[in-house]
Structure 1
């Protein structure tokens, strides 16, 4: 009898000691404080990302001045895959296709679009739109961005709908002014386009205008040269610089140097409820730093079921140099 007691005790000990090591996480856990995206950063400035999600694979485009050794900004494409450790749940962001290698041929055509968009001046704030028929096997893209090749930043676009080649970039004329206009983004049902502009006393505010066409007719919408009513959003905007709006679902994130932050430009969010945007909320010291935080975007990567990924740039201490790209988990 004593031998059986010893045997069962030994089995119980082995099982209990194995549990922490053998447990598998079925989802990743995004960090609550920002982590550096080391594989994407350089000693120069890397920011202004766009990251439409296909689950754990993300066709990641961002602006960098590495190609000119710190002079003008170009938009580049780097594939991103989201990995997590099934023993700990920790998430890693890597520059590879991993098990999504089948996407490589379809998405490397983005380099053709960016080669057409980039100039000897600066291109900032890309927003990559996948064609609405993408999930049925149609790999068409539309990319919006801003270029200052004419002196001021103007919002432009290029696309390859129904064509193997990308079209020559054009301005979206009704969004642009004689001042800097950048960072176009859509609300959840594509009824409005938002952007930031310095058209009011050289201070950046957040503006919007209704879209007249269906979401699958964006090219026709952007080719329209008629004038539109452009509205300043006085809830989101302040007397200071409010820039880089990005919308996912009912949440807008943006950056501002308004008072009350951690220092420099801070990241804020606003929730759309009852047909209006709520008062902006500072993300606080766990995300913002005494330095500058810039161009946030939200990503639903499908890896962490409770938090969305937010990617942004910062020139905080400890980076690779200049502005670096960071990621963090957020919930609203």
Structure 2
């Protein structure tokens, strides 16, 4: 088996304005660069459960490194050369017990983790002893520090083990299995509705099957699911897989192939949008899990180059429903390039200007252009950009690129402009 082509398509579709679809080797195979994460992150101890802040500048993971004998959550800051600094414990998130599986939401304001700290649900074991299950906890970011983690309520937490949380919008994914029986692990999901979490249900086949399935994660738009499984047909042990999401169904399940999967165990893969990089974990032969990265060769960032040169960029590839401010799905890719720029340049502020074509009434177009600019702003905010960094304006039909009402002219005039503002 070779690398999953769907994965390469996914990576390249997240990189805009490339001159070709694939960067290829001499053997005409797609390039995917896989390597241990750079910096003093991996040790002889286990490193697992990586997650990053939206700006890709801070890495969180868990490891057992102290003489206390418990797993703890660590963080590391990215250096200017792209390597990671020496990690430090995140004391506010850790307890005197096992703290694992950190996950940071796309807006950077919520952190979920798994822990068997005081307050976790007790389990009566077959031998009469009492065990402590691992439950899911939530912490919130106030702009400076994380809050003390609080346990999620029933029906999320049970006597069974809950770990590997992943949150997208109102949907929570997590791994659950009976105490001491990880071979029975399944991925569950719950939705936050009317102020409470729905009763968790296992994901349907073909995600869960008769083998262990763990650590599922969505991509940013919720159209792809990544997960780990030890089902037959893989490279050995646990392998990483991806599946397409079509409504409530999962289709086209594919093994991610080499060089991501190996004869050892791989698990817990997440995609970092800003750096166009996957983080995943691999059990190094004869050792414990380490954190690895998988990425395509670096592409020229046209958006960043244009903004640095002219302080503005105009995109006619941001599409809306006809006579509406509702963004079409295909607008995600160009807008994500703006998101990435703003995350990498956290000191920058930006004006979003909507323009319409020359058809329709002046009054309607002025309102529509303003609403579309606001819609774009809300999209950027949903991706973790602070609202105070963005202002909007609608120019309607007052600044056409070309004169004309034919479709070609109208397409050029219907555009969204992004202008950097002075601090």
Match of 2:140 in 1: 210
Q: Deviations over 1:123-173 (max 9, x none)?
A: 001113341xxxxxxxx5321110112232111111226676533211111
Q: Which of the residues 72, 76, 97 maps onto 1:154?
A: 72
Q: Deviations over 1:4-63 (max 9, x none)?
A: xxxxxxxxxxxxxxxxxxxxxxxxxxxxxxxxx9538xxxxxxxxxxxx877349xxxxx
Give the conservation status (yes or no) of the 8 Å contact 2:54–2:107: no
Match of 1:111 in 2: 37
Give the conservation status (yes or no) of the 8 Å contact 1:308–1:329: yes
Q: Deviations over 1:201-221 (max 9, x none)?
A: 4311111123222xxxxxx42
Give the secondary structure class of the aligned counterpart of 2:53: strand
2: CA distance, partners of 1:264 / 1:229 = 27
Match of 2:224 in 1: 309
Structure 1: 5+ residue runs without aligned partners? 1-36, 41-52, 59-81, 84-93, 98-103, 132-139, 214-219, 302-306
Give the conservation status (yes or no) of the 8 Å contact 1:122–1:147: yes
2: CA distance, partners of 1:290 / 1:194 = 28
RMSD: 3.3
The yes-or-no answer on 1:300 pairing with 2:220 is: yes
Q: Which of the residues 239, 257, 268 maps onto 1:324?
A: 239
Match of 2:45 in 1: 121
1:291–1:244 Cα change, 3 Å = same
Deviation, structure 1 residue 247: 1.0
Q: Deviations over 1:62-96 (max 9, x none)?
A: xxxxxxxxxxxxxxxxxxxx98xxxxxxxxxx973
Give the conservation status (yes or no) of the 8 Å contact 1:188–1:250: no
Q: Which of the residues 191, 194, 206 maps onto 2:112?
A: 194
Deviation, structure 1 residue 285: 2.9
Match of 1:221 in 2: 145
Q: Deviations over 1:201-255 (max 9, x none)?
A: 4311111123222xxxxxx426xxxx82533432211110111001122211111
Matches within 5 A, 1:243-262: 243-257=163-177
TM-score (structure 2 length as normaliser): 0.45
TM-score (structure 1 length as normaliser): 0.56
Deviation, structure 1 residue 265: 0.6
Give the secondary structure class of the aligned counterpart of 2:134: strand
Give the secondary structure class of the aligned counterpart of 2:75: strand
Give the conservation status (yes or no) of the 8 Å contact 1:120–1:149: no
Give the secondary structure class of the aligned counterpart of 2:92: helix
1:319–1:54 Cα change, 3 Å = closer
Deviation, structure 1 residue 118: 0.7
Counting matched residue pairs gives 214
Q: Which has the higher contact order (CA 8 A, sep 6+)?
A: 1
Structure 2: 5+ residue runs without aligned partners? 5-9, 16-20, 23-28, 121-130, 249-423
1: CA distance, partners of 2:236 / 2:205 = 21
1: CA distance, partners of 2:77 / 2:2 = 30
Give the secondary structure class of the aligned counterpart of 2:228: strand
Give the conservation status (yes or no) of the 8 Å contact 1:158–1:170: yes
Give the conservation status (yes or no) of the 8 Å contact 2:188–2:202: yes
